[in-house]
């Protein structure tokens, strides 16, 4: 009578366990890579949104100088381009309250409601994210006299 000692694994068992191990490692690596990509995109969106208030202030200053389009850079990774169109504007106003002196300032002033389209781009190491923002801006400006 021949007896076999079965203390080891057969070739089929080793191959199947290797296939299962490879599948689990591949799925784990794919999940890790996907989560890193989501985190990178989230960081890019947060950094772009964080710079938005300063960019909107710069755009408002340009609108007060009656520039209707422009571009710029905020930090080393964020660039922006904007364009505005006047939706409505007031008639000339001949005086305004000056907060510094507490009196009236005379001249030719105007209120303007402008619709701004702002394209903000974040250029990261692995990713570039572009966002389009559209908003209305009310601008008070002093008109320049033409001769």
Per-residue pLDDT tens digits for 106-129: 667 788 899 999 999 988 777 788
In a domain, 57, yes or no: yes
Assess if residue 147 is contained within a domain: no
3 found inside a domain: no
Mean pLDDT of the chain, nearest integer: 84
For 90: left if phi > 0, alpha if psi spans -120 to 50, otherwise beta; the answer is: beta
**DSSP labels, 22-79:** HHHHHHHHHHHHHHHHHHHHHHHHHHHHHHHHHHHHHHHHHHHTT--EEEEEETTTEE
Domain count, the chain: 1
Residue 2, in any domain of the structure: no
pLDDT at 140: 80
DSSP state for residue 77 in the 8-state scheme: T
pLDDT digit string (tens) for 33-80? 999 888 888 888 888 888 999 999 999 999 988 899 999 998 888 999
Q: Is the dihedral of CA 125, 119, 138, 66 positive or negative?
A: positive
Does residue 39 form part of some domain? yes
Which structural domain, as residue segments, surrounds residue 48?
12-142
141 closest CA partner among 113, 116, 110: 110
Rounded distance, CA 94 to CA 127, Å? 51
132: in domain: yes
Assigned domain for 138 exists: yes
**Domain membership flag for residue 6:** no
What tens digit of pLDDT does each residue of 77-92 get? Answer: 899 999 999 888 777 7
């Amino acid at each position: 009578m021949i007896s076999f000692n079965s203390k080891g694994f057969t070739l089929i068992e080793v191959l199947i366990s290797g296939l299962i191990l490879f599948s689990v490692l591949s799925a784990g690596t794919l999940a890790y890579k996907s989560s890193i990509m989501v985190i990178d995109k989230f960081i890019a969106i947060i950094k772009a949104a964080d710079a938005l208030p300063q960019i909107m202030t710069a755009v408002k200053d340009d609108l007060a100088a009656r520039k209707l389009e422009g571009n710029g850079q905020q930090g080393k990774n964020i660039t922006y381009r904007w364009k505005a169109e006047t939706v409505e504007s007031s008639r000339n106003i001949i005086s305004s309250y000056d907060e510094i002196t507490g009196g009236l300032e005379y001249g030719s002033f105007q209120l303007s409601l402008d619709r701004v389209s702002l394209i903000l781009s974040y250029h990261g190491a692995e990713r570039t994210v572009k966002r389009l923002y559209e908003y209305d801006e009310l601008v008070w400006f002093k008109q320049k006299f033409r001769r």
